[in-house]
Structure 1
């Protein structure tokens, strides 16, 4: 629980949160409550993966309907979750490399959504999917 409090404070005072307009800050603050999963006896660590799948599905929905706000919002939530998960689950150098690659691709999804470039978002989303698959492959191989 202490870790959750520290993460919430870090996110609240991060340069990302400070640089946003008040409307975006409000959306991010609301989303943060939903973004930061914790491991409990009733909520296994797989919850992290389920949240990423939820955000990924919402991005795909945004692509299907050309809803760039939906894409950007969910990509931002996924990016925030990835940063937190990378901190909590810092397993090995290879895993950290995957976390950084995932972050770069998520940033590209956000950038393309801001430009309302459907082809750019589609390509970045595909790269995001490849990033997920490669990371899970390496985690399975490490076991």
Structure 2
């Protein structure tokens, strides 16, 4: 499967794919109105974006019917979701930010990181989480940061 960065998706396109995947997972469907509400955009904007994603072969879209991801669209959406979750986990559980702040920052930063940096960050996270000595330092950092609140 292709990497999402090979697709040169915009931040907006990534947000649409992520939202469609999450709505399908939560509700079993993703309707245009639900997508508009979730992304806080108007219906005509959603329709235009979905037509664009359909032209790219990432979604199946027909007006008035639920939106479905293609196999490639789903693959890319899952990678975007994983990147988002990884950053949220880092900001919330490593740096000790509150949940809403960690969510807001991870939503923004996930679009700024190129694939090579993402791979390096994942390797760093793996080291941080799975090396006992580092885990102890993370716990000490969390204690220090909790006193800063």
Give yes or no for TM over 0.5.
Answer: no
More helix by percentage: 1
Higher relative contact order (CA 8 A, sep 6+): 2
Scaled by the length of structure 2, the TM-score of the pair is: 0.30
Larger CA Rg, structure 1 vs 2: 2
Scaled by the length of structure 1, the TM-score of the pair is: 0.31
